[in-house]
Structure 1
């Protein structure tokens, strides 16, 4: 008996290996399967990105503008010399630093509880996920109701505890609005940080804890000498990811305060939105968007380097 042929005849009388023909067919199939995704990426991501970059070099002051003079880097210069821009940058940095710090500290505490052994731990882990699972709009609406100046539960609680005499308009006060938006963001995002850190805690060998107990080390010493150094890769990743997300915060600001009162909660992303779509200054808004992109690109570079170092430290 002879082995089955692994070649296929062609019209010219030559033979093409069947494996090569199969790879050729699979390549065509893969191309046609990926074509819809490629078209979507080009239409939804690449074209708007390039179009926005082009608009940032022109003076476009209306959606119906017929004259759009070329201004070069004029829009970027105007943005960088605007006090409103630097005010928004300051509020964005404050939001980023405060929210990320609280999320890391609270996330560490929650991760420690989730890692402990106690009856009903599975139920506690399920409950902790709920704030993170809520859509941002739902979370913002809930906190907006809690902080309502007329019927909010926070005012009711504080008046019953005799901590305040009258109901207070928390989101209408420039001195408290941004801090309470941060509170809503921390409440939602802390579970995500906790589960990142929990993954790091579960990877720590139990032998290290047992050796520390034999040496009669206290829990603060164990945390400082064992837990914290081994959690550095997880903490680094969490810090960079949350910094990127907090810096471009928009949705919770839009849902809770719309940047008010008196622009006290206007972050850089919301400032770009109002400049482009409320003020109809599309050229200036496009320049703002690309400045944000440059900052996010820098943070992403830091994230990739941190991730690479974390992976190398685990090898």
Structure 2
């Protein structure tokens, strides 16, 4: 009497297992990829956090718990806060310039014109160049003897112009800003060109028929329409500027002295020149905390603006 009951329950269990497998199959498929991402991204982060509470240097390998010693040193490190200030200066100056130049370039190419695609392709070439190559190229261009920048200025001035762009404290920041804006304004240009192309043309035509000025159209129609793209573009470039390293390393190596030393450059020096491993990890988590706060505030502001 029991065998028929066993035979009827087996297919039910089989169907139940098959349904469970079918429900969880998408998760099982993506599980290996998620595991790899966690190992590649999360493990170094957790390991760096552990190291930041130790005292590991080039001469010591003390893995015992050191408490908040490294984090306490951060608040007494004037060079660290100066590096954060240098980073903020470059970000505050370069980001608006890139946004403005990118917007003007996008306005220029929004209308159909002969050779438009060719010109757009040429304009975005600086973006695909490696930043270290761009910095090295501009260092050669700023060369006081053979650089074309000095020769052009001398021609325009009618007399020899000798500017030590990467050495003179008065010109070193303009040199960095020029190189940074030259390379990344095309990035803003591409994003804003796509945003401007999606602005409702019927509203623009209606405003034109009503005789509205360009500034009024810009303020009332264009800017509100492209505001989400502008916010995302500024967030991306802002985060990228905070971690700027390659261009400055190629142009000035943080000089003269430590005048142009950014937070990324200072972290590199502490970790790979002075081999203060645990202190470098603490600096990295300070930067992560600052960027997390800034990004959260910006995203909340974007949500409120909708």
- TM-score bucket (shorter structure): 0.7 to 0.9
Residues of 1 paired with 2:15 and 2:9: CA distance? 16
**Superposition RMSD in Å:** 2.7
In the TM superposition, what is the alpha-carbon distance from 1:119 to its structure 2 partner?
2.1
Give the gaps of 5 or more residues in structure 1.
1-9
> Matches of residues 153-302 of structure 1 in structure 2 within 5 Å?
153-162=148-157, 165-302=160-297
Aligned mates of 1:16, 1:70 — CA distance in 2:
52
- Distance, in Å, in 2 between the alignment partners of 1:185 and 1:193 is 12
Contact 2:55 2:61 in 1 (8 A): no
- What is the deviation of 1:47? 2.0
Is 1:52 the equivalent of 2:19? no
Q: Is the contact made by 2:98 and 2:185 (CA closer than 8 Å) also made in structure 1? A: yes
Q: TM-score, normalised by structure 1?
A: 0.85
* Cα distance change, pair 218–126 in 1 and its aligned pair in 2 (3 A): same
CA distance in 2: counterparts of 1:59 and 1:207, whole angstroms:
65
Q: CA deviation at 1:295?
A: 1.3
Aligned residue for 1:24? 21
Shift of 1:33: 6.8
- Alpha-carbon offset, residue 274 of structure 1: 0.7
Cα deviation 1:63-110 (Å, max 9, x = unaligned): x52445643222122112221112111111101110101011101101
Instruction: Point out the structure with the larger helix share.
Output: 2
Residue 37 of structure 2 corresponds to which residue in structure 1?
Answer: 41
Tell me, in whole angstroms, the C-alpha distance in 2 between the residues paired with 1:52 and 1:221: 52
Most deviating of 197-206 and 157-166: 157-166
Unaligned runs of 5+ in 2: 1-6
Q: 1:249 to 1:164 in 2, by over 3 A?
A: farther
Contact kept, 8 Å, 1:241 with 1:303, in 2: the verdict is no
Equivalent-residue separation in structure 2 for 1:21 and 1:60 (angstroms): 52
| 2:152 is the counterpart of 1:152 | no
Change (3 A) 1:227 1:275: same
Aligned mate of 1:73, from 59, 64, 68: 68
Give the conservation status (yes or no) of the 8 Å contact 2:153–2:161: no
Partners of 2:143 and 2:8 lie apart in 1 by 80
Structure 1 residues 26, 128: CA separation in 2 closer, same or farther (over 3 Å shift)? Answer: farther
Shift, 1:137, TM fit: 2.3
1:14 matched residue in structure 2: 11
Aligned residues: 301
Counterpart CA distance in 2 for 1:13 and 1:69 is 57
